[in-house]
Copies of this chain bind each other. A is one copy, B any other.
Amino acid sequence: MTASTATSEAAATTTAEHAAAEIAAQFKGQSKDDTLRDYLAMLRIRRFEESAARAYTRGKISGFLHLYIGQEAIAVATKQAIAAHDRVVSAYRTHGFALALGSDIKACAAELFGKAAGLVGGMGGSMHFFDKAHQLWGGYAIVGNHIPVATGHAFASKYTGDGAVTLVFMGDGAVGIGPVHEGMTLAGVWKLPIVFVVENNQYSMGTPLKRSVPVEDITARAAGYGFHSDRFHVTSVHETRARIAAAVDRARADNQPSLLELITYRFRGHSMSDPAKYRQKEEVDTWRLQDPLERTLLALQQLHGLDEATLEQHDAKIIAEVDAAYEFAEATPQPPPEARFENILVGE
């Protein structure tokens, strides 16, 4: 089964035909290889998370599990837009970033299972992915409290002159909380090399944007911080990459912070414990037409004539990799008892 099956009905509608024309325009100029690369990068994340959801249902994963399904293009584009020493800081919806940035897929799965071989030794679970070697600087589970920290990374870059840009991601639900405002204030006063990215997936848990943000356009606040801003629907990796890259450039070249609002959608509930009853099927269906994964698939099929068999092969390879990761996660041991006393203080 390719990723397209799920939306085959929706694709049959008139709206979908219109979308097909749109897609042709949007992906024109993208090579087949690049388009396929982007597609597979997104698909890999989606397959990883579909497996995570199943493992959660089977009781293999516990705690909170927030899926990135629908938003994968952002992580993939981010990886493409940044330099090797840049930093990516995120909230708790982090699997996509880890995989896109190159974290070991087995270590990711093992972390979800709370195993010693996990990305953070089983200490953090889904909400606390960190992978310094792959530019992933969190993984924070208190809404907004990573924004000042990320601002601190950017401060350090200016202090040391390391030339790195910090990209920090937050949800639409995070923009009201104080620490976000304080971090942005400092980045604005000090002119730090940072990009603030709001992943506006329309909801914070069950709360739609209009109940959590006073105005429709989140970037309206950029003027108050003296930031550049940009705001767009995320429908493909390449456009997203280009617009993130522009902000990264401004940060690196001129210490000019930006506020980006990336309009997107999560197709699953807030976390695995949320049945998402607060929204209608029609709404979800409409957004499916914008799903970058679906659109990229359509581009591959329509513009580059990629056939089902080839797609199946790619998918099978990904599924095999993902399955192996979860098998590893299941088999690998829990942390030893004494691990609970480690990494609290050092030098004792």
- The CA-CA distance from A339 to B98 in the complex, in Å, is 59
Chain A count of residues within 8 A CB distance of the other chain: 22
Q: Could you tell me the dominant secondary structure of chain A's interface residues?
A: helix
Residues of B within 8 A of A186 (CB): 176
- The CA-CA distance from A178 to B214 in the complex, in Å, is 16
- Segment touching B, from A134-142, A152-160, A223-231, A237-245: A223-231
Residues of B within 8 A of A185 (CB): 176, 213-214
Q: Which B residue sits closest to A210, measured CB to CB?
A: B189
- The CA-CA distance from A178 to B181 in the complex, in Å, is 6
In A173-229, the 8 Å CB interface with B consists of 176-182, 185-186, 188-189, 211-215, 220-221, 223-226
- The CA-CA distance from A226 to B221 in the complex, in Å, is 10
Residues of B within 8 A of A226 (CB): 214-215
In A118-154, the 8 Å CB interface with B consists of none
Residues of B within 8 A of A211 (CB): 189
- The CA-CA distance from A292 to B178 in the complex, in Å, is 35
Q: Can you pick out 7 interface pairs between chain A and chain B where the beta carbons lie within 8 Å of each other?
A: A176-B185, A176-B189, A181-B182, A189-B212, A189-B213, A215-B225, A223-B224
Binding site for B on A (CB under 8 A): 176-182, 185-186, 188-189, 211-215, 220-221, 223-226
10 additional A-B pairs beyond A176-B185, A221-B221, beta carbons within 8 Å, are A176-B182, A176-B186, A177-B182, A185-B213, A188-B215, A189-B212, A189-B213, A214-B226, A215-B223, A220-B223
